[in-house]
Structure 1
Amino acid sequence: MLNQYFADLHIHVGMSESGKWIKIPTSRHLTVREILQEAAERKGMNLIGVIDALSPLVLADIRVLIEEGLLVPVSGGGYLYKDKLLLILGAEIETRELHGGLAHTLVFTPDIDTMVKFSAYMSQFIRNINLSSQNAHMPLKQLVQIASGFESLIVPAHVFTPHKSLYGVCCARISHILSDKDMYKLAAVELGLSADSIMADRIAELNEYTFFTNSDAHSLDKIAREYNILAMENLSFEELAKTMSRTGTRQVKANYGLDPRLGKYHRTFCANCNYTDTDGLQENHCPKCNSSNLIKGVFDRINEIADYPKPHHPSQRPPYLYQIPLEFIPGLGKKTLVKLLTEFNTEMNILHNVSYEALCEVSGSKLADFIISARTGTAAIAAGGGGIYGRVLK
């Protein structure tokens, strides 16, 4: 009998406990210690990936938490926090293709010793190994070949976004830049905030891959704005690997993500006049001001490169369920959020389980209506683009 776990595999570290920046700009509160506390106690996560563990500063903080007994090594890989949350160590690494396109890739390792070795090896290519998501000055093919020697799980990150992603700026097909052998070494694919499986399954080469939706959190409150439900035997790196490869009956049961319209890069955006296109541009200029200074949206990029006019979902593809985080709910302030969390414990419980009547008692009917409409996918949304989030309409 498999267990079900909430998982968010893309969380950044902003600062070390020694007060040194790791990712700029992020929150000073985004330390490994506070991430673990937030994810376990407030968000209700069971498994998280911290993707700045390539940094020796982050590794040092993780060692302290292990020495304190707050993190306990798991036999199958990973570290258990307070018997309720598994920490997986990851790195987000930037690569550059020959024509100049940049992309981010997540690399997860089973334990701190392996990540220390990987970090030491990559330091010969990365100019400042202490900082997040640094350019490794190599193409993805080379990174895949290196990372596969460290017992790693390799996951291309936010693959459609117009900045630093494979389909966004590097290639129309990953198979154009990777051999079949290297394609096989990819464990899964991360969709990103502005895409869903309906959009991604219009590209044939992705049919064999497991999809993940993750938060890419740059602050504590963004943790679990996107997440996954995993069916696994237990919490361990080994079980995560088997879930990505769908070994036995292990699988991603569901992807919970923002409605793509809420993402920052869903539609094409004019950087000159701030026009967000919702009709589908026919020319490479803004219909409002005629500027060619456009940031192509994920929606339009997929239309440009898709194999199929409609999605071809493989049999193993789980449902992609639109989830609007509490922070997107209009009128839901910090005081009311604290009241909801005090009464119902975690954001996962509020979003998934608490009844309408119970929500009304704590937040009032108007906010309860918004939360339920977010849960059922009936909320009205204005699309985002060009780095500006979409929004739930009042």
Structure 2
Amino acid sequence: MIEQLTTDPYPLLARLRATEPVAWLPDLNGWLVTRHDLALRVMRDAETFTVDDPRFSTARVVGPSMLSLDADAHTRHRTPFARHFRPREIAERFEGFVRAECARLVDGFAAAGQAELRRALAGPLSVAVVGEALGLADTDTARVLAWYDAIVSTVDDIAAGRVPDSRGTTAFGELRAHLEGSVGRRSLLTEAASTLDLPEVVSNAAVLMFGGIETTEGMIANLLSHLEHLDRARLPAAIEESLRLEPAAAVVDRYATRDVALAGASIARGDLVTVSLTAANRDPAVFEDPDVFDPGRPNLRKQLAFAHGPHFCLGADLARLETRIAVETVLDRLPGITLAEPAAVSGLVFRKPGGVHARWLPS
């Protein structure tokens, strides 16, 4: 079942959603929630379904942070960072930087007539923007992407019930040293250190980098996998539809704080409750013909790719900005661009194509 959920989860998720929308899956050692309304209920109710549990996979790698804490502790960890990601400030602060970075990256491969766009554009752009947002100096793109490949692999192993190797721990140790060295320079991390202890600053910066790199790279790559169906004039809608059809973060984990009944399932205190954002976003009760890529849908903002409730993604608007400008740049600068081969998406916790191979008419 783990293999099916990793490679082609949609038939299984559709069957569960129709017959057992809160299902106990032994392979996950927890409950899987697959219906849109139930996903909302779980994510909104942090008192009953918490992230604050020592089993939480990301916390086991990077330590406690806004991602793995609730109530007052969550607010204390999130507040020093949140004011820098307000929607009205994102465009003013980042649009020029993102456009310049996209132009620089595309200039590096435009003449070749072909490239693998996930690691030539999406990944390096995500690293550069996170570095700019957090005020990190000397951020080596290849090194940071290698750290996050290792961390993602470890999180996937934990979620699948496998014993992870040491790569994720080693990678986070190197990332931690990089972040601690940046706190001494004036930056967003310096500001955060005025209210949080250094280990707390590092853990929160790590999860912001995690979201800003891993899921943003996946978000851009997933949209580019529909390259031949993209219309520059309708990119905002296409972004939302791509988020709906294939969220870069496929699942979010919660833990029951009390015995609770949910859609006929008797969930015990302490049980793992995993919300499948992938399944919720393909619920036919909400989205007609849910397996079809259709940017013309009237209700795209009901997609749950950025989660919901107190843990709604802090960087959602920045990720949307990066994705829009990256694809605009590709469409504007690479004439006749098309996929060289299908881009197959996979992943248990984080879903994206292994590569987005494209070709165009070189200038």
TM range, normalised to the smaller chain?
Answer: under 0.3
Higher helix share: 2
Higher strand share: 1
The structure showing larger relative contact order (alpha-carbon pairs under 8 Å, at least 6 residues apart) is 2
TM-score, scaled to structure 2: 0.26
